[in-house]
Amino acid sequence: RTVYVNGAYVPENEAKISVFDRGFLFADAVYEVTCVLDGKLVDFDGHIARLRRSLAELKMTLSVTDEELLAAHRELVKLNAITEGLIYLQVSRGEADRDFLFPAEGTPATLVMFTQEKALVKSALADKGQKIMTADDIRWRRCDIKTVQLLYASLLKNEAKANGVDDVWMVLDGQVTEGSSNNAYIVTADGTIVTRPISNDILAGITRASLMRCAEEHQIKIEERPFTVDEAKAAKEAFTTSATGMVVPVIEIDGVTLGDGKPGPVAKRLREIFIQFSR
Ligand code: PDD
């Protein structure tokens, strides 16, 4: 694979990052995952807008323009002949001697990108539906910033696997915030989609924004309000969204089967609508 490191396209085994990189030492870095369908980027503008926001919130500067980022994404898709998969982008505050204080102004950020070829449309998990467990959301309260501090999400994902389920929904003050790496939704008895409003407690999913547009276009009602685990367990359906998962139905929460234990019609329909919309 060819990867991108600070303006250069290099074979992955020749790519180098300093041991003093702040992304490595402090998780002082932000990232984006953009999906590729039919060789084309999905919602690149949304991802770049969110990246700029993450950078601004952390007072990080990146001297690469949006146009250059787009060109690099396209170049990597071409060089690695990606038809379906993703592009990962990470920006760290750069290389500096270890210090909790930020490095001197003008220290260049570290920018890396790589690709992953991966089937997204055809998904065994989406066909089968995912089983979810819940866990306390003990993350810091700036989950709106897409930082690489993913250790808790990683621990939870492994706990899910150890418990024979697929993923975890995190719970804050009795209410679901989001999944380990996706946004969470339930479908009420009258077919309304419910999802937590945007705040510092969740990541504002780019897929979430697209899904809301899709739902509106198809006259499906969406209500932005927090919901409890009990409400989720009693829901007709549930699902998650993310760039790589798109829309994935949920069939079980903490051992309680939703509906008939198969992916629900609303989630299945939204997955189809979303894929069509993204192509
Ligand atoms: N995760 N919430 C969290 C905590 C996430 O990590 C993600 C994305 C989302 C969904 O955002 P989007 O629709 O923009 O992908 C919500 C990415 C895919 C990842 O970490 O791989």
* Residue to mutate (ligand 1; options 86, 114, 182, 270; most atoms within 8 A of CB): 182
Catalytic residue of the set 131, 146, 233, 268: 146
Q: Is 146 a catalytic residue?
A: yes
Question: Are 2-117 and 124-278 in the same CATH fold?
Answer: no
pLDDT for 76 equals: 98
Q: 265 C-alpha vs ligand 1 centroid, how far in Å?
A: 24
Query: 53-105, pLDDT tens digit by residue?
Result: 999 999 999 999 999 999 999 999 999 999 999 999 999 999 999 999 999 99
Distance 7 CA to ligand 1 centre (A): 25
As given in the structure block, the two tokens for residue 262 are 């198969």
Structure confidence by residue, pLDDT tens digits, 123-182: 999 999 999 999 999 999 999 999 999 999 999 999 999 999 999 999 999 999 999 999
CATH topology of domain 2-117: D-amino Acid Aminotransferase; Chain A, domain 1 (3.30.470)
Q: Over pLDDT 70: what percentage of the chain?
A: 100
What's the rounded Cα separation, in Å, for the pair 83 and 225?
37
| DSSP letters for 22-83 | HHHHH--EEEEEEEEETTEESSHHHHHHHHHHHHHHTT------HHHHHHHHHHHHHHTT-S
85 to each of 38, 73, 81, 82, 148, how far by Cα in Å? 9, 12, 10, 7, 20
CA distance 196 to 88: 26
Kindly give, in sequence order, each residue whose CB lies less than 8 Å from that of residue 194, ignoring residues fewer than 6 positions away: 185, 186, 187, 188, 222, 223, 224, 225, 227, 231
CATH entry 3.20.10.10 includes domain 124-278: yes
Q: Using CA positions, which residue lies closest to atom 20 of ligand 1?
A: 181
The answer to whether ipTM exceeds 0.85 is: yes
Q: Which atom of ligand 1 is nearest to the CA of 202?
A: 2
Where do the structural domains in the chain lie, given as residue ranges?
Answer: 2-117, 124-278
Average pLDDT, the chain: 98
| Shortest-distance atom of ligand 1 to CA 244 | 18
pLDDT for residue 8:
98
